[in-house]
A and B are shown apart, each in its own frame.
Chain A
């Protein structure tokens, strides 16, 4: 088992840092170019093939490796040197708890698509992503540059409000799923619920006769549909947490010219940017897993799919259990990748589409609107859960 875990962990890290991060870096530049009416990167070539500038991240890496990194001086130099690692390592570890597909049985062997499955997965992901926020504070406060210190203070003020919203939004999610483990959450969303089921609950009348038509309307039991407000709160707070546009006041170019990143250059700056890209991937993975059904295919639960392909229906003979599980794995991976790509694109597009929030606006937004809404959401959810479980099922 440990061998499998280690192999999976290395595969995940290579896939994220080696494939997804360069893609995000490229998509980010292309998207910015699109918004600003430019062409974006397109001149990197390998054997005459430029492939829309897809090789640009590789060129960037080579450039960064060869860049001079002025030695950090002063009493805090060691701490400042470590700040990029503080930014990178926790966000990188978040990818370990995100399940990209379900659990499958091949004879006696069980195939799992998550690196680590602790009972406290979502809690760990929240803590790790918040821990990374401290890197900006460390980098800025140990800097000799006043603008960098201002950036650190802005980071600090975001740090004082975003985790509260994130944590409160997560509480309402726990109320629904009754678990902190991400694979179990994704599993719970591999189902449907009846859209008009609440009518039964409200009026105490079973939907029979002519009303039975209403029971045909089902929706996938995704977190975003059961917890629409929680989804929006979680997404907003998570974007504040990554310090990305439109909540990038700590590093705002026009005012602070990089903020806490001002005195970094070369590889250390590159590690900060890598951490930024990994953080986006982590947030997208969490949003998909917790709120958008994870790997699940809408209206097609895993058990039904495997059963159908393995045994068949009527004259259709079926292909056996192994083949069915293989089909299921592929479809689930494709489904996860599709949702993941869409969420990722929305997060990237936000950067070009929205203007920057001032730090005090972020605080006013978090404390004044999001925190009260999150509390309201928790108690509304608790009340509904109470009603639904009292009636027996949803």
Chain B
């Protein structure tokens, strides 16, 4: 299991080392004279105002997104063994996607999927 990860981890680690090196080099090279014009908060606000309050529809869309992503997670193993399941697999997937489709059409008709 770890052997499969080796290449990916090495790339990640090398990338991290490279990025941190560049940050360190820049910290030594770059001028460090912050003033009111260059430092945040910017002209538009008076500082970080705590956790942002967002419209409730974002949570609604997020829930629909989560439902579909979870449904997706079930479709992957199904797709991989589909040739063994054959007709049964197709019927099962249709039975699985049917209620999902009804819910999707309802959400779409009620404009629940966008801002």
Report whether chain A binds chain B. Answer: yes
Determine the main DSSP class of A at the interface with B. helix
Choose among A2, A64, A367 the residue that contacts B114 (Cβ–Cβ < 8 A).
Answer: A367
Given A89-B19, A164-B65, A379-B90, 16 other A-B contacts at CB below 8 A?
A: A17-B15, A65-B25, A67-B26, A89-B12, A116-B5, A116-B8, A123-B76, A157-B114, A160-B65, A171-B75, A171-B76, A178-B82, A179-B80, A268-B23, A363-B115, A385-B83
Contacts of A161 in B (CB 8 A): 65, 113
Contact yes or no, B97 A171, CB < 8 A? no
Binding site for B on A (CB under 8 A): 1-2, 5-6, 8-10, 12-13, 17, 64-76, 84-85, 88-89, 92-93, 95-97, 114-119, 123-124, 141-147, 149, 152-153, 156-157, 160-161, 163-164, 167-168, 171-172, 174-175, 178-180, 262-263, 265-268, 270-271, 359-360, 363-364, 367-368, 371-372, 375, 378-379, 382-383, 385-386, 389-390
In the bound complex, CA of A41 to CA of B23 (Å)? 26
28 contacts between A and B (CB under 8 A): A2-B6, A6-B6, A9-B10, A13-B14, A65-B22, A65-B25, A65-B26, A67-B26, A70-B38, A70-B39, A71-B39, A85-B16, A92-B12, A93-B12, A124-B8, A143-B40, A144-B49, A145-B42, A167-B69, A171-B72, A175-B79, A178-B83, A180-B80, A267-B30, A364-B114, A382-B82, A382-B89, A386-B86
In the bound complex, CA of A123 to CA of B4 (Å)? 14
Choose among B10, B23, B30, B42 the residue that contacts A10 (Cβ–Cβ < 8 A).
Answer: B10
In the bound complex, CA of A145 to CA of B52 (Å)? 11
In the bound complex, CA of A225 to CA of B39 (Å)? 53
Contact yes or no, A96 B7, CB < 8 A? yes
In the bound complex, CA of A2 to CA of B93 (Å)? 41
The verdict on A267 contacting B79 (CB below 8 Å), with A9-B14, A13-B11, A363-B113 known, is no
In the bound complex, CA of A84 to CA of B48 (Å)? 19
Number of B interface residues in the complex (CB < 8 A): 65
Contact yes or no, A160 B61, CB < 8 A? yes
Contact yes or no, B39 A88, CB < 8 A? no
Contacts of B102 in A (CB 8 A): none
Chain B window 10-34, contacts with chain A (Cβ cutoff 8 Å), 1 for yes, 0 for no:
1110111011001101110111111
Contact yes or no, B32 A68, CB < 8 A? yes
In the bound complex, CA of A172 to CA of B42 (Å)? 47
Contact yes or no, B47 A74, CB < 8 A? yes
Minimum distance in angstroms from A268 CB to a CB of chain B: 8
Minimum distance in angstroms from A247 CB to a CB of chain B: 15
Contacts of A265 in B (CB 8 A): 38
The verdict on A65 contacting B6 (CB below 8 Å), with A17-B18, A157-B115, A363-B114 known, is no
* Chain B, 99-113, CB within 8 A of any chain A CB: 101, 104, 108, 113
